[in-house]
Amino acid sequence: MKRVLFLIFILSSLVFADTEFAEPKPSIDNPRKFVFPITKWDRKEVNHILSSVNNVMKFYGPENTEVVIVAYAQGINTLLKRRDSHIRKRVESLMTYDVEFIACGNTMRTLKIDKKDLLDDVEVVTAGIVELIERQLQGYIYIRP
């Protein structure tokens, strides 16, 4: 198996002049930190964002990443227990890799969503946008996938 993976690695490095790492290189001690917003309830877009998270973690290795997803406005539907069972499964699977999911309290008040409507382990903050801001100031890279 290891040999096959190595072969794939060699082959893919022949095809791609790949992304150059910035310093310090990603490692357990220097994980890459990202914060992604989900702001719309468009299943295709939500799935695209979750796939992007997957791609990022596959590329760096889950142990070398810290991923935070902040859901607000209609994007909060992503974190509801009863909305879309496929998306729910993907979210729960990412949670097992320590991806943090955060819901916007302002949005919850506006859309009359209760904490118990959210998936277990979702954190709630007062304002999703504030979370995006403070995470950036803490060195997280903000990407809208």
Q: Could you tell me if 80 and 124 are in contact, meaning their C-beta atoms sit under 8 angstroms apart? A: no
Regarding 6 and contact with a copy of itself (CB under 8 A), the answer is no
For residue 84, the minimal CB distance to a copy of itself (Å) is 20
For residue 117, the minimal CB distance to a copy of itself (Å) is 14
Which residue, 26 or 83, has its beta carbon nearer to a copy of itself?
26
Q: Any residues with CB less than 8 A from the CB of 111 and at least 6 apart, and which?
A: 76
Contacts 24+ apart (CB under 8 A), 103-110: 103/71, 103/72, 103/76, 103/79, 103/128, 104/70, 104/71, 104/72, 104/73, 104/76, 104/128, 104/129, 104/131, 106/72, 107/71, 107/72, 107/73, 107/76, 108/76
For residue 5, the minimal CB distance to a copy of itself (Å) is 14
Regarding 22 and contact with a copy of itself (CB under 8 A), the answer is yes
Regarding 120 and contact with a copy of itself (CB under 8 A), the answer is no
> 54-93 mask for a copy of itself (x: CB under 8 A)?
-xx--xx------------x--------------------
Regarding 95 and contact with a copy of itself (CB under 8 A), the answer is no
CA dihedral 57, 59, 64, 67 (to 10 degrees): -30
Regarding 31 and contact with a copy of itself (CB under 8 A), the answer is no
Residues in touch with a copy of itself (CB under 8 A): 12, 15-22, 32, 34, 39, 48, 52, 55-56, 59-60, 73, 105-106, 115, 123-127, 129-138, 141-145
